Chains A and B, each alone.
Chain A
Amino acid sequence: MSSAQFEIQLIASLVAIACAIPGTFLVLRKMAMISDAISHSILPGIVVGFFITQDLNSPLLILLAAITGVITVVLVEYIQKTGLVKEDTAIGLVFPVLFSVGVIMIAKNANDVHLDVDAVLLGELAFAPFDRLLISEVDVGPKSLWVIGIILMITITLLIAFFKELKLSTFDKGLAASLGFSPAIIHYGLMSVSSITTVGAFDAVGAILVVALMIAPSASAYLLTKNLKKMLFLSIVFGVFSAISGYWFANWLDASIAGSITTLLGLLFLAIYLFAPNKGIIAVLYREKQQRTEVSLLTFLLHLKNHDEVSERHVNHLNEHINWQKVRAKTVLDLAIKNNMIVIDNNIVSLTSKGNTFTSQAIDYIITNEDAQIEDMKDDFFLFRG
């Protein structure tokens, strides 16, 4: 591994960490699309900054672009406040316009500016190590490493300093406001950090893929945990993991590094989306099926309790009467027997005393509109779940 390769991986990992921290809060605050809007609308800021400084890594350019990002947020909120359109429409209107302005500015000055839209939107991590920062003729490392390093330091400092304020205002805005933490300051602080991170990272991974690094690791982490600290930690781990493995994947394919980092993030999210223990799609579908069987079981037990006549409790009659398919009826019957709720004698089904208590309690809960209690009751009564 050459030193350039090491530097690329280091930059990618730092970008991943710097994105994951604000990204987590954006996802929790349901503002993920704002990051997309910011990543597009910083373009005019970058262009103007570039006209002035002629350097993609200068602090002035980053500042200008970050201000454009904050302006985007303000504009979106203003349009939303007029009540003429919904919030998502406001976002969708603002950023393409600002982006168009940027594209036109580049196009009109294409001849004397070494900047093109592809570079801003897509970035190229592979070239990052060649743009060195020289302090009095001494090579201290790639410029983008310094830029993203400083941004990361600021982000982490702010995160540690304002962790409880951020946490509180994210989960309970009203309480935060009544305790005296200004929601506006925290909101715009977060927006500024997101803007600055986006600007600092676009050079390396491109503006659009910054969005992936912000949202995907946090969304994946959100499917695995409900604890904010764990979520932050997990999203940083996911981000760094995909940054490093994405680099080697790109190396092997000889394709865009940013693209392959995103692809790995996508695969990671897909895996978690499918297999996450509680929130994953397979777990959810399994739970839905379980619930359906258990509701059927309850209906069936209620039916039994209502009818003492032998004719109503015959196995075949149940098939016809409740109108269940054979397989379903058998599943329900098996489950009931396994849980000692019923006994079948000569094809006549009757409730056991356990089944009887279960059903009476269930009826009580249903009548008093406390259906949720039935879930807890299931834990007490069921030996086997549906």
Chain B
Amino acid sequence: MNIQEYFYLVFSDYTLRTITLGTAILGAVTGMLGSFAVLRKQSLLGDAISHAALPGIAISFLITGAKDSNTLLLGALVSGLIGTFWIRGIITKTHLKSDTALGLILSLFFGFGMLLLTFIQKQPNANQAGLDKYLFGQAATLIESDVWMMAIVTGLCLFVLLLFWKEFKILLFDKDYAKTLGFNTKTIDVLITSFIVLAIVLGLQTVGVVLMSAMLLAPAAAARQWTNSLAKMVFLAALFGACSGVFGTAISASQNNLSTGPVIVIVAAVFVFISFVFSPSRGLLFKQIRFIKNRRDLELHKTLAFMYGIAETHENISHPHEIKILNNFQGFTKGTLKKLVEKKYVIIKGTTWSLTNEGFKSASNLYNQLTQQDE
């Protein structure tokens, strides 16, 4: 299937259009809220919540006996919230640390959910098949009303986010300051956590319990590398999330036997990888380049300082010296010598070098200049 065909299908085929739209919206909203989770150091909360949502789905099925995805997600929301607040209770009231609390709630709720699911499967009610799609997610089961639901929630998120922007921001970076300014930090905290839970619950149907945490984290972690501004980061994360959704769907649609959820996660991971390596300010590649450049500069300075030390002992600073005597010195390479010549600090004649006036001056100011720059 070539790209043109695919584009044609996206607009004409109901299923593909719905899934593409759904995953794009999902990616955007999880990326947006994920930024807050990552910055609040609650990255693994998403993992815990998505697992904790499982018993809610099972219980709401047991109560209603119907497979309406909205009621099931409501159940998931409630049990996700219970899980979140229990985690908080464990962390604040006991000496158990946050990782233990997260792991506890994650595994215990999930196990309980599994118990309920297997219990449901043994029930005579024939309607129960397909509940396990929430485990691994099946984007193919998305229908238009689900996408509308996602769009509405995303709109709501965006609205609340814009409305409480400065409150969220200040809570994120300086909680104590927010408190002294008189903001009710607890309410804001609960609000943002609830929205994170909501976004996770929405994604369960598409990417499933296990991979949901990556949807939350990956776009935000990628976006973090490109900017230091919260607004830009949230925007970029939403963009990365939406792109991973669209590309992931496209790749999984073009091949047989490829479930959408894992492909989306891998696409998001590729975004993270690219950001980690190629981001201009924080990326590993540029960091390495800067590192090498700095080392070269340092070597240049070292050579110059060494030359200065020699030239100082002579009355005539331009007195020629053999290049050989530089060899004992670590900072010296042919490259640095050439560079010094280019800068007109040094003149080379045959096998000798001599410092120019300019070179002498800048060498004597070497450390003064550096300290001035530091200030």
Chain A residues packing against B (C-beta within 8 Å): 27, 30-33, 35-36, 40, 79, 82, 84-86, 88-89, 91-93, 96-97, 99-101, 103-104, 107-108, 110, 117-118, 121-122, 206, 208-209, 211-212, 214-216, 219, 222-223, 250, 253-256, 258-263, 265-266, 269, 273, 279, 281, 284-285
B62 CB within 8 Å of chain A: no
> B111 near A266 (CB under 8 angstroms)?
yes
Which residues does chain B contribute within 8 Å of A254, judged by CB atoms? 119, 122
Cα separation A212 to B89 with both chains bound (whole Å): 19
19 pairs of residues in contact across A and B, judged by CB atoms under 8 Å? A36-B103, A82-B284, A84-B284, A91-B44, A92-B213, A93-B221, A101-B262, A206-B114, A211-B107, A214-B103, A216-B108, A250-B115, A253-B119, A255-B116, A262-B115, A263-B115, A266-B109, A281-B94, A285-B93
Q: Can you list, as one digit per residue, whether each of B77-97 has a CB less than 8 Å from chain A (1) or not (0)? A: 000000000000110011111
Chain A residue nearest to B41 (CB atoms) is A86
User: Which label, helix, strand, loop or mixed, suits the secondary structure of the A interface?
Assistant: helix
Chain B residue nearest to A205 (CB atoms) is B111
Cα separation A223 to B90 with both chains bound (whole Å): 11
Chain A residue nearest to B218 (CB atoms) is A93
How far, in Å, is A276 (CB) from chain B's closest CB?
8
Given known A32-B102, A35-B103, A284-B93, contact A258–B114 (CB-CB < 8 A): yes
How far, in Å, is A350 (CB) from chain B's closest CB?
39
B14 CB within 8 Å of chain A: no
The interface stretch among B233-241, B263-271, B290-298 is B263-271
> B210 near A222 (CB under 8 angstroms)?
no
Cα separation A103 to B136 with both chains bound (whole Å): 9
Q: How large is the interface on B (under 10, 10 to 19, 20 to 34, 35 or more residues)?
A: 35 or more
Q: Considering residues A96, A117, A265, A285, which has the most beta carbons from chain B within 10 angstroms of its beta carbon?
A: A96
How far, in Å, is B96 (CB) from chain A's closest CB?
6
Cα separation A208 to B48 with both chains bound (whole Å): 12
Which residues does chain B contribute within 8 Å of A209, judged by CB atoms? 107, 110-111, 114
Chain B residue nearest to A108 (CB atoms) is B257
Contact residue among A93, A206, A266 (Cβ-Cβ distance under 8 Å from B272): A93
> B108 near A269 (CB under 8 angstroms)?
yes
User: Which label, helix, strand, loop or mixed, suits the secondary structure of the B interface?
Assistant: helix
Contact residue among A31, A96, A208 (Cβ-Cβ distance under 8 Å from B214): A96
> A269 near B214 (CB under 8 angstroms)?
no
> A33 near B44 (CB under 8 angstroms)?
yes
| Additional 12 contacts, C-beta under 8 A, given A92-B213, A96-B218, A100-B261 | A36-B106, A91-B44, A93-B221, A96-B210, A96-B265, A104-B262, A121-B135, A209-B107, A211-B103, A216-B107, A258-B111, A266-B112
Given known A96-B214, A273-B90, contact A259–B111 (CB-CB < 8 A): yes
Given known A35-B103, A84-B225, contact A223–B111 (CB-CB < 8 A): no
Q: Can you list, as one digit per residue, whether each of B246-289 has a CB less than 8 Å from chain A (1) or not (0)? A: 00000000000111011101100100100010000010100000
> B266 near A104 (CB under 8 angstroms)?
yes
Which residues does chain B contribute within 8 Å of A285, judged by CB atoms? 93
> B122 near A219 (CB under 8 angstroms)?
no
Q: Considering residues A32, A82, A222, A260, which has the most beta carbons from chain B within 10 angstroms of its beta carbon?
A: A32
Chain B residues packing against A (C-beta within 8 Å): 38, 41-44, 46-47, 51, 89-90, 93-97, 99-100, 102-104, 106-119, 122, 132, 135-136, 210-211, 213-214, 216-218, 221, 224-225, 257-259, 261-263, 265-266, 269, 272, 276, 282, 284
Cα separation A208 to B117 with both chains bound (whole Å): 15
Which residues does chain A contribute within 8 Å of B259, judged by CB atoms? 103-104, 107
Task: Give the number of residue pairs across the A-B interface with Cβ within 8 Å.
Answer: 197
Closest 5 CB pairs of A and B: A262-B111, A259-B115, A96-B214, A212-B107, A100-B262
> B262 near A33 (CB under 8 angstroms)?
no
How far, in Å, is B76 (CB) from chain A's closest CB?
17
Which residues does chain B contribute within 8 Å of A261, judged by CB atoms? 111
Which residues does chain A contribute within 8 Å of B114, judged by CB atoms? 122, 206, 209, 256, 258-259, 262
Which residues does chain B contribute within 8 Å of A266, judged by CB atoms? 108-109, 111-112
How far, in Å, is B35 (CB) from chain A's closest CB?
11
Given known A99-B211, A209-B111, contact A219–B136 (CB-CB < 8 A): no
> B112 near A263 (CB under 8 angstroms)?
yes
How far, in Å, is B79 (CB) from chain A's closest CB?
13
Chain B residue nearest to A211 (CB atoms) is B107
Contact residue among B104, B108, B257 (Cβ-Cβ distance under 8 Å from A107): B257
Which residues does chain A contribute within 8 Å of B263, judged by CB atoms? 100, 104
> B44 near A223 (CB under 8 angstroms)?
no
Cα separation A48 to B153 with both chains bound (whole Å): 40
Cα separation A250 to B111 with both chains bound (whole Å): 12
How far, in Å, is A227 (CB) from chain B's closest CB?
14
> B94 near A273 (CB under 8 angstroms)?
yes
Which residues does chain A contribute within 8 Å of B122, judged by CB atoms? 254-255
Which residues does chain A contribute within 8 Å of B258, judged by CB atoms? 104, 107-108
Cα separation A307 to B261 with both chains bound (whole Å): 72
Cα separation A209 to B107 with both chains bound (whole Å): 6
Given known A92-B46, A255-B118, contact A279–B107 (CB-CB < 8 A): no
